Amino acid sequence: MLFLGKEISTPLTLASGILGISFSSLQRVIRDGAGMVTTKSLSIEPRIGHEGPVIAEFDGGLINSVGLTNPGIAEGLEEVEKFKRGIDGVVIVSVFGANAEEFVQLASAVNDSSADILELNLSCPNVEDEFKRPFALMPDKITEIVSAVKAVSNIPVLAKLSPNANDISAIAALTEAAGADGLTMINTLGHGMVIDAVAKRPVLRNNFGGISGPCIKPLAIKLIHDAYKVVNIPILGTGGVSTGLDAIEMMMAGASAIGVGSAVYDHGLDVFKSIREEMEVFMDTHGYTKYSDLIGILKEN
C-alpha cells in the first residue's frame, strides 16, 4: 500500500517518542512487522528533558513527562542514514521547534538526509512550562509554521495535532489549507496526574504529563473520524492501539496508517507482529483484500 507516495508493506508505524533513535532499534521494528518508523522528536540542539521519574503506569494507560529528550537534529539524522543503509524501510523524522524559524531550520536539515517524511510535532503537552500552549492549539501558529515548512521541505509533511483542541475539525481543515500533506493524530492527552498516596505527592517529578494507552483509544478514534470527514489528506492515526482489532477500528474511522506507541512499552516489539497477524485474520475472515479497503468505511447510525 501507499502512504504519502511511499510504498509500505503494512500500515503499522512506530510512533514517535517510544524508542530511542538508534538505527538498530528502528530496524528491529521494521523486521518485526511495521511498515514505517518515526524518530523521537528532534530539536536543533540536544535536550536533556525533565528529571525522572518521567513515566508512570496506571490502570488503562501511561502518563509521561519526558520533556522531548533527544540528541539533537545532527546526531538524529546520522542514525537515520545508518538505518537506511541497513534496511529498506520508510522513516518519518519528527521535529520540534520553539518557533517557525526553528521548524524551517530543522526542515532544511532533514532535506539533506535520507528521511522519507517529515513530521511537525506541534502538540506535545508536557513542555508547556517552557513553550506555553502547544502550537496545535493556536490556529495562527499552525498556519505560520506549516506554510513556512512547506515552502522549504523536499519531502511530504505531516502535522501532529492535539486532542486538546476545542474543534479538531476546524484545526484539521486549517492545517490542510496551510499545506500539510497529512495529519498525525492524536498526540498524548493532558495534562494528567498520578499520585503516590503514601508519599502524598505526584509520581512524576514534573508533577503532570501526557496520557496515552488504551484509555485514550475511543477519543482518538472519534477525533480521527471527525477530521477524516473534512480533509482530503491521509491521517496517521495513533492512540491506544494494542491489538489488530484496535487498528482495524482506527482505519475504519479514517486513518490510512496506524501508529503504535504505548503498546510497545507494555508488550515489547513483538506487538507489531501480533497486531499485523490479527489484522490479516480479520481481513481474511471478513473479505477484505487489502488494507486500503478499510479506510473510512465506518457507517454511522
To the query of whether residue 124 is one of the catalytic residues in this protein, the response is yes
Q: Which three cell numbers stand for residue 267?
A: 508488550
Q: Please state, in angstroms and rounded to a whole number, the distance separating the CA atoms of residues 213 and 236.
A: 16
Q: Please state, in angstroms and rounded to a whole number, the distance separating the CA atoms of residues 156 and 110.
A: 11
In sequence order, the β-bridge partners of residue 205 are none
Q: What is the number of residues in the chain?
A: 301
- Determine whether 144 is exposed, middle or buried from the number of CB atoms within 10 Å of its CB (0-12, 13-18, 19+): middle
**CA atoms within a 13 Å half-sphere pointing along the CA-CB vector of 55:** 13
CA dihedral 128, 132, 136, 139 (to 10 degrees): 170
- Determine whether 292 is exposed, middle or buried from the number of CB atoms within 10 Å of its CB (0-12, 13-18, 19+): middle
Ramachandran angles phi, psi of 79, nearest 5°: -70, -35
Buried (b) or exposed (e) across 179-190, using 16+ Cβ within 10 A? Answer: bbbbbbbbbbbb
Q: Please state, in angstroms and rounded to a whole number, the distance separating the CA atoms of residues 173 and 265.
A: 33
Q: Please state, in angstroms and rounded to a whole number, the distance separating the CA atoms of residues 13 and 28.
A: 12
Tell me which of 124, 236, 263, 279 is the catalytic residue.
124
**Annotated active-site positions, please?**
124
